[in-house]
Amino acid sequence: MATIAMDPSLSLQIGRGSNQHGAVPVKEEIQGLIKVYKDGHVERPQIVPYVTRALPPELGVTTKDFVIDNFTNVWARFYVPKSNWKLPLVVYFHGGGFCVGSAAWSCYHEFLGKLAAKAGCLIVSINYRLAPENPLPAAYEDGVKCLMWLKQEALKGCSEWWSKQCNLCSVFLAGDSAGANIAHNVATRLNSNNLYPLTLKGTILIQPFFGGEARTNSEKNMVQSPRSALSLPASDTYWRLALPCGTNRDHPWCNPLGKGSAKMEEMKLLPTLVCISEMDILRDRNLEYCAALGKAGKKVEHVLYKGVGHAFQVLSKSQLSQSRTNEMIARVKAFVNR
């Protein structure tokens, strides 16, 4: 649920009713990211640049935008690296707490261009509908719709340029933070048999955004700097805006390990790679998720990236973060080419 790297002078301040738009009070706010008024009006400051599909030629990655659904304005950005053979297909969902973010945000565009080039995979980055205007399960429905759209395009006889380089038998669902949550929930909704000629092979969950009413140790005790991409108050605000009215953080969409969630043993889950950040408030919840998958007999592997926080791979330019990002890309490459 990557948000953005803030200027040090800006802090992520979360409040209720602290500002006013005219005479209308504010209902929810994460300063610099989103402001929701009591009359339903939503403001999202453009704190991250929106960019066109252009990439540096030296990357060797061709990009193109496609409209998935005219009615909902859902679209996707394709990243196709040069290759002499067919490549795995990664369907990617950006982060942003379900409430902010875009496939056109510069940080995601740069990261996915690099991932496509270095991991040797074709990437489809989905620009899904956002909460609170479109609360969950809208994002999950958009994810399923995009997979069905890809299926129909593939059935046309590989007429599109991207499908000629795509190994339709090697498809992965991926995302970071809220996007990882979407990948997980889309995977549980899909029946692979209905996706022919696409074959789902796995999920790649980067710092998956899960929650729960009971706090984990990392949520309670992990000290976050003002520039952190995700604080506990921000996390709570995102969930209030994204979940259906009248529910709490133990809803199955938020807490897959909660009492109301389906038992892992009874679910058809794909082999899963989970990437976890040591300095992330979600660390312990991510580790608990991996342990539950393993206990249920599911195929799961995880990597803990030391010294870095939430969404470091898209937000931080530090030498350590760049090194960890390259490690992550190498692990993703190994996973999708297995």
- Are the CB atoms for 186 and 140 separated by under 8 Å? yes
- Are the CB atoms for 61 and 80 separated by under 8 Å? yes
Question: Among this protein's residues, is 177 annotated catalytic?
Answer: yes
Asked if residue 256 has a cis previous peptide bond (ω within 30° of 0), the answer is: no
Closest CA to 38 of 29, 51, 47, 30: 29
Residue-wise burial string across 186-209, b where 16 or more C-beta atoms lie within 10 A, e elsewhere: bbbebeeeebeebebbbbbbbbbb
- Are the CB atoms for 206 and 182 separated by under 8 Å? no
Of how many residues is the chain composed? 338
Residue 327, both tokens: 């490690």
Catalytic site residue from 102, 125, 163, 177: 177
Q: What is the CA radius of gyration of the chain?
A: 19
Residue 4, both tokens: 């953005």
DSSP string, 241-257: HHSPTT--TTSTTT-TT
- Parallel, antiparallel, or unpaired: how do β-strands 166-176 and 200-206 relate? parallel
Question: How far from the centroid of its chain's Cα atoms is residue 105's Cα?
Answer: 13
Three-state secondary structure of 259-320: CCCCCHHHCCCCCEEEEEECCCCCHHHHHHHHHHHHHCCCCEEEEEECCCCCCHHHHCCCHH
Question: Which positions are catalytic?
Answer: 177
